[in-house]
Amino acid sequence: MVAMENPHAHAPQGFIRKYIFSLDHKVIGIQYFFLALTAVFVGMFLSLLMRIHLVWPNANIPFFGHIQPETYLTLLTMHGTIMVFFVLTTAPQGGFGNYFLPIQIGAPDMAFPVLNMLSFWTTFVAFVVIIAAFFVQGGAPLHGWTGYPPLSAVQSAGPGEGLGADLWITSIAIFCIASLMGALNFITTTLDMRAKGMTLMRMPLTVWSWFITAILGLLAFGVLLSAGILLLLDRNLGTSFYVPLVVVSGQIMGHKGGSPLLWQHLFWFFGHPEVYIAILPGMGVASQVLSTFSRKPIFGYRAMVYAMLSIGFFGFMVWGHHMFMSGMSPYSAFAFSILTMCIGVPSAIKTFNWLGTMWKARIRFHTPMLYAIGFVSLFVSGGLSGPFLAQPVLDIQLHDTYFVVGHFHLIMGVAAIFGMFAATYYWFPKMFGRMMNEPWGRIHFFITLAGTYAIFMPMHYLGMAGGTRRYSDYREVKYLATLMPLHRFMTFAAIITIGAQFIFVINLFWSMFKGPKASDNPWEATTLEWTTTTPPPHDNFGGVTPVVHHGPYEYGVPGAAKDYVMQTDPTTVSAH
Amino acid sequence: MGLALMVVIWLITLISTYFFVAKTWWLPLGAADAAGFIDGQFALTFVLMGIIFLAAQLGLGYIVWKYRDRAAAQPASYSHGNTTLELVWTTLTAILFIGLNLMGSRVWASERFEPAEAGAVKVEVTGMQFAWYFRYPGPDGTFGATSPKLMDPSAGGEAAVGLNTADPAAKDDIVTGTMYLPVDREIDLSLRAVDVIHSFFVPSLRFKQDAVPGLNIHMHLKPTVVGEYEIVCAELCGLGHYKMHGMVHVVSQDDFDKWLAAREAEKQ
């Protein structure tokens, strides 16, 4: 790093080099953040159309007209894909990770700034390609975000399975490449660019979470990339990796001997770690925020680190729990099931430690803290349906029902998004130099918390009653028709909750220009980003290299001058 | 703010729990012998997870109210954790989760590791976009040959599953769009799919299994209550997924024999 004569010393001039093709991790982080913000509104709008269609199937929606069954499936496919890749993977890691990982470890930038810029713009191209799928002949694919072949591999299997499906796979493949570049950068930066005194066990838990997430990404996205290429070959060059002899609409297709289960194994080998890619950064942010606003050290720092490491480790050994009903050997279900239960243990440790952090604290209820507390509540609620689904014998009833939809939305969807909200409200002052509006933040929080529970808790009731997912109309089957009142309730809850998100967006943009000026350390927090100016200079610390003397969460230290000790404080009041 | 947060978290928790406990929506009445096991394991998991859910959420609400920042509050205690506590709750959760899992596995094993008992009633289930077909082997007890070349979904019935009528064993095969099963008899199901993956789901019989192109999956079940139960498709299979449903009639052995004989007579 030294050989290049400090490349970070001078900020680039000119609009394009400064804001578009910037090499500054802070600008790139903000680019990722706005990409994800755009994507989340697209994804949310698709879900709104879905909820409206389920309850008013004959509604004539402006610009969309009457939604057909195949259009509904297109909406759910694109909702899932956009949310998982371009929101849950993009914002927590690419956005906040990019911006704050280097600052929190005391580095002037990422290890590979050019690679960093490339990974953002590659992600951007992937987003353009997936949006393009809406506009091609036949429209976007209808095979669900999991894209199980033969449905996803045979062009005649349904509308949207032509060019739309090719674009869908291509977009995911491009996204995989971008994520691999990002993961390498995060890992190298964490290992090689820490400031003096920033030992591994002094890293903020956010840094640990981004680091572990990057390792998961490095191992998982390569597999998805390969799986996607094989699917493209099956679709366009007549290979048979995933497709055996099938007869679609009376026509014998040209495939022979492929295995539909092979895709499921490869997809979920990526897909399950992906769940943790989405939620781990949220865990990191929740820990950081809970400790800051509790004015207490995090309870069991080491246990938190080991818990995240073991969640990441076990996360790679449980993909088969998505496949208990797939025709996979029932013996392997035993192993997958036990290993899945094992993940419950570190997850429980984290919950206990968050509660322990708030025990005997002095909690300050700023908006980031509200979201961190909401995160814990949602993590518990979404997590406790896990031990149902982890049991193959209960999966007989619950697999592919709304119980699953409720489970993963609460835990990897909404909990992860609460992590992002906490992160936004917490770091906004540092990123944009101004404070967000607190009263509106609180109103946004309470509507969103109650609203998301009102949308996703009833899904568990639906699922227990046998309510299958991915149906565009629930009035065809008698017992499903009796569950329509629940659907109606969920749709109303969704409309209100989605409406409340505009409070957030208005608050965000209004505060960016009109919010009160933020001080360097408005939350009286201890980690390195709060030692530098607001917003940080191009090289993060204005030519100074920070030296670290303490662990990340030294709050309420007896004998200290203030109720918090910055990581860079040279006075030795604590042993950590 | 601490009070508001406690009230909201408690309300969400209690309202959610009410609808679980009141069983306003619950598993449908079980009509197969597996229902006893499955529902028992479900109830046990439900009680254990319910207790943790209540304790964690109510505790969370209480803690944020109790330890809110106010003038009269105690200073925050300075603690980095407690290793003994960590070990205790790690061990307890591990025992609880893994123990629960092992109990459920026994049921899974009895259902899936053993083949159907001898003399079971054979039925073949075929899924295709967007219908289920059921084939009975007839008096000879043997399924005749089928061929992809002969499959014609638009014709329905025998032609849809591609039955090769030249095969002597196929002469007495019955193919229907509605499923009939005798009560209290073991049923030996074989599941197939011709185009994409489907999933044969009968909530009341506590039965679900994907039907996968290229695989012939054998499963068994034993219906125990006479009645009509809806069949749905549980795996996304294309634009008509939502209307790929059917009906299974669980009837007495006599009625089953009569029904089968009537179908044979129709065929001649």
Q: Indicate the SS3 state at residue B55.
A: helix
Q: What is the ipTM of this complex?
A: 0.96
Whether the Cβ atoms of residue A79 and residue A73 lie closer than 8 Å to each other: no
Predicted local confidence at residue B200, as pLDDT:
98
Give the Cα separation of A323 and A148 in Å (integer).
12
Whether the Cβ atoms of residue B233 and residue B246 lie closer than 8 Å to each other: no
Backbone angles phi, psi at A247, to 5 degrees: -115, 110
B42 and A388 within 8 Å at the Cβ level: the answer is yes
pLDDT per position as a tens digit, A179-202 = 999 999 999 999 999 999 999 999
Sequential DSSP letters for A419-477: HHHHHHHHHHHHHHSBPPPHHHHHHHHHHHHHHHHHHHHHHHHHHHTT-BSS-S-SSSS
By Cβ distance, the residue of A151, A299, A462 closest to B25 is: A462
Residues of chain B with CATH 2.60.40.420: 121-267
pLDDT per position as a tens digit, A4-29 = 445 555 677 788 888 889 999 999 99
Give the Cα separation of B118 and B121 in Å (integer).
9
Mutate to test the interface with B, among A268, A318, A363, A367 (most CBs of B within 10 A): A363
B97 and A466 within 8 Å at the Cβ level: the answer is no
List the structure tokens of B227.
Answer: 């009645």
Q: Which residue of A has its CA nearest to B56?
A: A380
Predicted local confidence at residue A573, as pLDDT:
60
Considering all CA atoms of chain B, what is the largest pairwise distance in Å, rounded to the nearest integer?
92
Mean pLDDT (whole number) for B154-182: 93
DSSP H or E segment with residue B126:
strand B121-128
The more confidently predicted of residues A92 and B154 is A92
Q: How many CB atoms lie within 10 A of CB A575?
A: 7
Backbone angles phi, psi at A110, to 5 degrees: -70, 165
Give the Cα separation of A547 and A376 in Å (integer).
33
Which residues of A fall within a CB distance of 8 Å from B12? 377, 449-450, 453, 457
Number of alpha helices (DSSP H) and beta strands (DSSP E) in chain B:
5, 10
Predicted local confidence at residue B71, as pLDDT:
84
- Indicate if the pLDDT at residue B252 is higher than 90: yes
- Indicate if the pLDDT at residue A576 is higher than 70: no
Specify whether the backbone of B74 is left (phi greater than 0), alpha (psi in -120 to 50) or beta. Answer: beta
What residues does B180 pair with on adjacent strands?
Answer: B249
A362 and B151 within 8 Å at the Cβ level: the answer is no
Place of tokens 């001997």: A257
State the pLDDT confidence band at B268, using cuts at 50, 70 and 90. Answer: confident
Mutate to test the interface with A, among B210, B215, B245 (most CBs of A within 10 A): B210
> What is the Cβ-side half-sphere exposure of residue B5, based on CA atoms within 13 angstroms?
29
CA distances to A108, A547, A561 from A2, in Å:
12, 18, 37
Tell me the residue length of chain B.
268
Beta carbons within 8 Å of B106's beta carbon, 6+ residues apart: none
A280: Cα separation from own chain's centroid = 8
Q: Which residue of B has its CA nearest to A453?
A: B12
Beta carbons within 8 Å of A575's beta carbon, 6+ residues apart: none
Q: Give the closest residue to A268 by CA, choosing from A220, A235, A233.
A: A220
Whether the Cβ atoms of residue A422 and residue A454 lie closer than 8 Å to each other: no
pLDDT per position as a tens digit, A218-256 = 999 999 999 999 999 999 999 999 999 999 998 999 999
Predicted local confidence at residue A3, as pLDDT:
41
- Indicate if the pLDDT at residue A289 is higher than 70: yes
Whether the Cβ atoms of residue A108 and residue A544 lie closer than 8 Å to each other: no
Taking the CA of residue B49 and the nearest CA in chain A, the distance in Å comes to: 6
Q: Indicate the SS3 state at residue B97.
A: helix
Domain ranges (residues) in chain A: 529-576
Mean confidence (pLDDT) of chain A: 94
Instruction: Out of 2.60.40.420, 2.40.110.10, 3.40.190.10, 1.20.1250.20, select the CATH number for domain B121-267.
Output: 2.60.40.420
Which residues of B fall within a CB distance of 8 Å from A296? 76-79
Q: Sign (positive/negative) of CA torsion A150, A156, A160, A166? A: positive
Mean pLDDT (whole number) for B255-265: 95
Angle, helices B2-21 vs A438-464, to 10°: value is 10
Q: How many CB atoms lie within 10 A of CB B92?
A: 12
Amino acid identity, residue B42? F
State the pLDDT confidence band at A63, using cuts at 50, 70 and 90. Answer: confident
The more confidently predicted of residues A216 and A6 is A216
B8 and A450 within 8 Å at the Cβ level: the answer is yes
Q: Indicate the SS3 state at residue A62.
A: coil
Give the Cα separation of A249 and B240 in Å (integer).
13
A449 and B12 within 8 Å at the Cβ level: the answer is yes
Mutate to test the interface with A, among B101, B114, B237 (most CBs of A within 10 A): B101
pLDDT per position as a tens digit, A419-465 = 999 999 999 999 999 999 999 999 999 999 999 999 999 999 999 99
Predicted local confidence at residue B50, as pLDDT:
96
Predicted local confidence at residue A65, as pLDDT:
83
Predicted local confidence at residue B109, as pLDDT:
82
Predicted local confidence at residue B110, as pLDDT:
77
Q: Which residue of A has its CA nearest to B107?
A: A393
Mean pLDDT (whole number) for A78-104: 97
Burial group, residue B250, by CB count within 10 angstroms (0-12, 13-18, 19+) = buried
Number of alpha helices (DSSP H) and beta strands (DSSP E) in chain A:
18, 4
Amino acid identity, residue B165? T
State the pLDDT confidence band at A76, using cuts at 50, 70 and 90. Answer: very high
Predicted local confidence at residue A7, as pLDDT:
53
By Cβ distance, the residue of B94, B107, B201 closest to A345 is: B94
Among A105-109, A510-514, B23-27, where is mean pLDDT lowest?
B23-27
The more confidently predicted of residues B70 and A501 is A501
Structure pTM? Answer: 0.95
Among A63-67, B65-69, B241-245, where is mean pLDDT lowest?
A63-67
Give the Cα separation of A551 and A542 in Å (integer).
23
B212 and A260 within 8 Å at the Cβ level: the answer is yes
Angle at A379 between CA A377 and CA A381, to 5 degrees: 70
By Cβ distance, the residue of B74, B113, B149 closest to A330 is: B113
CA distances to A38, A171, B176, B248 from A128, in Å:
12, 8, 48, 47
| Helix boundaries (H) for A515-576 | none
- Indicate if the pLDDT at residue B114 is higher than 90: no
Amino acid identity, residue A166? D
Place of tokens 């995060």: A186
Give the Cα separation of A466 and A55 in Å (integer).
18
Amino acid identity, residue A354? W
| Helix boundaries (H) for A158-300 | 163-192, 205-236, 260-294
Whether the Cβ atoms of residue B68 and residue A361 lie closer than 8 Å to each other: no
Q: Which residue of B has its CA nearest to A390?
A: B101
List the structure tokens of A361.
Answer: 């604290």
Give the Cα separation of A372 and A354 in Å (integer).
10
Beta carbons within 8 Å of B170's beta carbon, 6+ residues apart: B143, B144, B145, B146, B163, B164
B67 and A362 within 8 Å at the Cβ level: the answer is yes
Q: Give the closest residue to A281 by CA, choosing from A357, A213, A370.
A: A213
Q: How many CB atoms lie within 10 A of CB B24?
A: 11
A446 and B8 within 8 Å at the Cβ level: the answer is yes
Mean pLDDT (whole number) for A86-101: 97
Q: How many CB atoms lie within 10 A of CB A65?
A: 10
State the pLDDT confidence band at A574, using cuts at 50, 70 and 90. Answer: low
Which residues of A fall within a CB distance of 8 Å from B210? 325-327
Predicted local confidence at residue A9, as pLDDT:
56
Which residues of A fall within a CB distance of 8 Å from B197? 148, 150-151, 260
